[in-house]
Amino acid sequence: MAKVKISDVAREAGVSLGTVSNALNHPEKLRPETLKLINETISRLGYLPNQSARQLAGGATKSFGLVLPRLDHGFSLQIASGAHNEARKHGYDLLIANADNDDILEDHYLRYFMGTQMSGVMVQPMASPDWHPAMTKMPVPIVHLDIHCSEPGYYVAADNEAQGRIIAELAIARGAHHIVVVGRAAFMQLTLRVLGIHKALALHPDIKIEVIDAGEWNTAADGYGIGAQIAERPADERPDFVVGLTDVLASGVVSALVDKGISVPGQVRVAGCDGNPLAWSGSVPLTTVAPPGYEIGRKGVQLLMEQIENKAPAKIKHVRVGSAVRTVTAVAAEDINRQELVRPFLLERASTQASSQTDATAINLGAYL
């Protein structure tokens, strides 16, 4: 348990303190034999550099922090995955903290990361775009993900309003007359989706629209509850199109409808939002509008790198990814055999998942539409 430090290594190897430090940080400065000797001593003694001391002495280390609202949300994971790969590409570590849907905790981890001399920090904020004002003048580069903010600062956001519009257009293209939107718009992102839906539908006053709150957490169980409620309505009050503000909600709705003997998509069509892996890699794929989470994470790191390399004080810089209205209406317009469309896409997505994804908001035509 006795911690061995750099001076122990130095003494044991018969060199000086600074030489060992160089072996760690600037190996090219050392004579190969010295380096070898030191490395051997290090592993013999089981020396482990004290990161705190390194950071304190040397300024920022090459690592980024990422604060996510929740880990069991597929979209956040895509962000994490994109950020991870991009960070590694630049030789940076990525540490992830789970704010667990708690703004206090979010703030806590944010401060923690800023105080840890991370090279940069990213957040996928939960609710408010006016994040703690103090955060903007932080000593560490920070990038906000998946949120559009008016304050100066860096952010990468998917166009959530566009996603709502896309879904609505899809519904229109499918000839919907009565749309039910399921979910609580507790987060800005969801609010924007609802807004997009309303805007798109403003041009179609004949289409009836209804928004049903599904409870605080937007869980599959919540979706199931709403689905069951819809199923019990008389046929003429029943919608012909249901939009889950979240894929999890949507799949809950599907489960309930099917259980209650309502045919999907025969009697009711269902679509979700999120591009949650469960939507397309589950046994039966669900149609969903997919914001490019992977790409958001990647761009976030890129913005961080940019700030680091320029060393310039943060200018206002926004990146907006994915506005694939064209792609989508194109797809929706074509009346392709569903089978053909879905599976290849599923396979492609599954196999390229680890490498990279496109910029575009993609749509996965599933079995329930």
Partner DNA sequence: GCTTGTACTTGAAACGCATCAAAGGGGCCG
Partner DNA sequence: CGGCCCCTTTGATGCGTTTCAAGTACAAGC
Beta sheet of 208-212, edge-to-edge order:
208-212, 178-182, 241-244, 269-273, 288-290, 362-364
Contact status: 346 vs a copy of itself (CB under 8 A):
yes
Contact status: 91 vs a copy of itself (CB under 8 A):
no
Q: Which of 52, 128, 310, 356: binder of a copy of itself (CB under 8 A)?
A: 52
Q: Which of 6, 197, 212, 264: binder of DNA (CB under 7 A)?
A: 6
Q: Which is nearer to a copy of itself, 95 or 195 (CB)?
A: 95
Segment 8 to 37, residues that bind DNA, using CB under 7 A: 15-22, 24-26, 29-31, 34
Backbone phi, psi, residue 207, to 5°: -85, 125
Q: Which of 138, 185, 186, 360: binder of a copy of itself (CB under 8 A)?
A: 138
Contact status: 40 vs DNA (CB under 7 A):
no
Q: Which is nearer to a copy of itself, 121 or 192 (CB)?
A: 121
Contact status: 84 vs a copy of itself (CB under 8 A):
yes
Minimum gap (Å) between residue 309 Cβ and DNA: 16
* Contact residues for 108 (Cβ-Cβ < 8 A; gap 6+): none
Q: Which is nearer to DNA, 137 or 233 (CB)?
A: 137
Kindly state the tokens that stand for 177.
């007359």
Please name which of 315, 327, 336, 337 lies closest in space to residue 359, comparing C-alpha atoms: 327
Backbone phi, psi, residue 315, to 5°: -90, 170
Segment 254 to 293, residues that bind a copy of itself, using CB under 8 A: 254-255, 258-259, 277-278, 281-286
H helix or E strand, kind and range, residue 298: helix 293-310
The answer to whether residues 321 and 156 touch, using CB atoms and an 8 Å cutoff, is: yes
CA distances from 241 to 64, 203, 227, 230, 231 (A): 42, 17, 12, 11, 12
CA distances from 147 to 62, 143, 187, 321 (A): 25, 10, 10, 11
Residue 171 binding: pick among a copy of itself, DNA, none (C-beta 5-8 Å cut-off by kind): none
Residue 345 binding: pick among a copy of itself, DNA, none (C-beta 5-8 Å cut-off by kind): none
Minimum gap (Å) between residue 118 Cβ and a copy of itself: 9
Strand-strand pairing, 288-290 and 178-182 = unpaired
Contact status: 50 vs a copy of itself (CB under 8 A):
yes
Stretch that binds a copy of itself, among 101-109, 120-128, 152-160, 189-197 (CB under 8 A): 101-109
Kindly state the tokens that stand for 232.
């019990």
Q: Rounded distance, CA 232 to CA 149, Å?
A: 41
Q: Which of 11, 36, 44, 58: binder of DNA (CB under 7 A)?
A: 58
Residue 220 binding: pick among DNA, a copy of itself, none (C-beta 5-8 Å cut-off by kind): a copy of itself
Buried b (16+ CB within 10 A) or exposed e, 110-141: beebbebbbbbbbbbbbbeeebeeebeebebb
Q: Rounded distance, CA 336 to CA 340, Å?
A: 8
Residue 150 binding: pick among DNA, a copy of itself, none (C-beta 5-8 Å cut-off by kind): none
Stretch that binds DNA, among 4-12, 277-285, 292-300, 360-368 (CB under 7 A): 4-12
The answer to whether residues 319 and 152 touch, using CB atoms and an 8 Å cutoff, is: no
Stretch that binds a copy of itself, among 27-35, 191-199, 230-238, 348-356 (CB under 8 A): 348-356
- Applying CB under 7 A, the residues found at the interface with DNA are 3, 5-7, 15-22, 24-26, 29-31, 34, 47-50, 53-54, 56-59
